[in-house]
Structure 1
């Protein structure tokens, strides 16, 4: 029996997301095309693989038995493609979290590595999907756990811990300080420049330092964010200290200390489809990181979300 891997991928993605719409979006298909692929696979195997219901979709008993070997078949196929990839082909690296300017870290090492083709992912779940489908070789940005299926199939390595500044209106009561403690901001309003479930660092910071006044705004770019802070003297947000920001008069970047909050940047990849040149990028990041002390962390002086301390060594 010859299996169509596109049909197998349609089943696996649907079984993992438990939702036809989400699976179709991940695969770039219409729901009708997705359903047809699964129906053809079920007809070939002579059994139902998925149960449809009001609460979504779930594998049948046969679907559960098929799921694990189906994943292995897809991983083997992806590895086969990777093994014969043209050596001159670029290393495809997705970058996300563009408000915080992640590409500047890659720009420091890009001359020391093979050609890199940068992609633009909308968010971390999209990155997970691209890596697991073999549509990207690696990804760079802030990584945190989302509970998404198959996260454990990806390898994460922290490559940079960057101090963050408080961006604050010059008219804020604290706006003329040369340095602030996180505790000084307890009664200020923390602005989330996107939905809070996408900004785990800000959530952890607010929880750790007792900041209860939180507000979400639409991400319309750094310029718009700074203008909102300028016009809202009681508000602040956090930004990586070395990020490139537009010049908006009336807004100050104030360093934080006692402790220094650190923003963890990580590289993420799937070992099952590891690009032969990924090691070159990892070596370049390590070399530059040592020279620039990118991974310096002292728990008596610095603050990291608990989850990030686990990423200081590869997992």
Structure 2
């Protein structure tokens, strides 16, 4: 067989014509030396193996084997192709494994790494160290965008608040309220309520509560709109959002500004700030985190996560708590 075929067909055309089954047949014959044994390994007929090898040689434009009484022997071209053929098969197997449920990481979206669901995922990972977990942030600006990512297969699940009734969710999308995060009042040492051990929502009327970064149209905007409307609170959203560190800087110096933060939200600040986290009672406002997933997702890690959440204690805070009407009826994860 002549190498002139290389001149007739461009390299991209040859690559596109490569058949994965023919490459596997080539490796089987190279390893076993006999077409019959290669056929047994592959579970096909000897004639099929011969046809696949002939097809591969035709595409490559070279002879890969020389047949002898002692079996098939690799030609010089066959020896040159051998390591690349192994790499092709290994790469294909890794590609398939990367998308097979149970072989790739479970992809879960959270709003950021400091809030309650991120802590829940850390606890889950400690309980199930063998389940590979990929925790993502910024998948979508709101719940609708995160659900679209689930439908597209970009992520397996997300933790968000769900303001939409279950009957209005897209087909196959499931949502369950799984984690309540009680709000606390965060103040600096000069605030009038700084020395209080606990406050009520009534105590906060007329006070300046500053929560920068509330984006209109998001689920957390809906939460704070409902909270402020029901308890006549003044929640200011003015000014650019420079992040948590800037918020802490301002609160540490302000005699009038306070903020609301989740009890489960991790925050660190210099000791000199002397910030205070104060419990809110009668009722305690809690932010309802939902787990959202697609019911047809077969990833075993998702099953483990849902089972872990069902068995985890204190998923919903007992006692006198407040949640928006749209989150008042928790469902089973």
Shift of 1:255: 0.6
Task: Determine whether 1:266 maps to 2:304.
Answer: no
From 192, 198, 210, the equivalent of 1:173 is: 192
DSSP 3-state at the match of 2:281: coil
**Separation of aligned partners in 2, 1:130 and 1:173:** 45
* Alignment-derived partner of residue 149 in structure 2: 130
CA contact 2:181–2:262 (8 Å) conserved in 1? yes
Q: Number of aligned residue pairs: give it.
A: 227
The 3 A distance-change label for structure 1 pair 142 and 284 is same
Shift of 1:150: 5.4
Report runs of 4+ in structure 1 exceeding 4 Å deviation.
149-153
DSSP 3-state at the match of 2:251: helix
Gaps of 5+ in 1: 1-80
Gaps of 5+ in 2: 1-95
* Alignment-derived partner of residue 325 in structure 2: 306
Alignment of 1:150-299 (within 5 A): 151=170, 153-197=172-216, 198=218, 199=220, 200-212=222-234, 214-248=236-270, 249-288=273-312, 290=313, 293-298=314-319
CA contact 2:109–2:157 (8 Å) conserved in 1? yes
Shift of 1:195: 2.8
**Separation of aligned partners in 2, 1:179 and 1:225:** 22
**Separation of aligned partners in 2, 1:152 and 1:233:** 50
Task: Determine whether 1:115 maps to 2:137.
Answer: no
Shift of 1:97: 4.4
DSSP 3-state at the match of 1:239: strand
**Separation of aligned partners in 2, 1:117 and 1:241:** 24
Shift of 1:134: 1.0
Shift of 1:142: 3.4
Q: What's the TM-score once normalised by structure 1's chain length? A: 0.64
DSSP 3-state at the match of 2:198: coil
Shift of 1:171: 1.0
Coordinate RMSD, CA, aligned: 2.8
Q: 247-256 or 211-220: which moved more? A: 211-220
The 3 A distance-change label for structure 1 pair 241 and 128 is same
Q: 211-220 or 251-260: which moved more? A: 211-220
CA contact 2:161–2:288 (8 Å) conserved in 1? yes
Structure index of larger Rg = 2
Shift of 1:184: 0.4
Q: What's the TM-score once normalised by structure 2's chain length? A: 0.61
Alignment of 1:53-72 (within 5 A): none
Q: 191-200 or 201-210: which moved more? A: 191-200
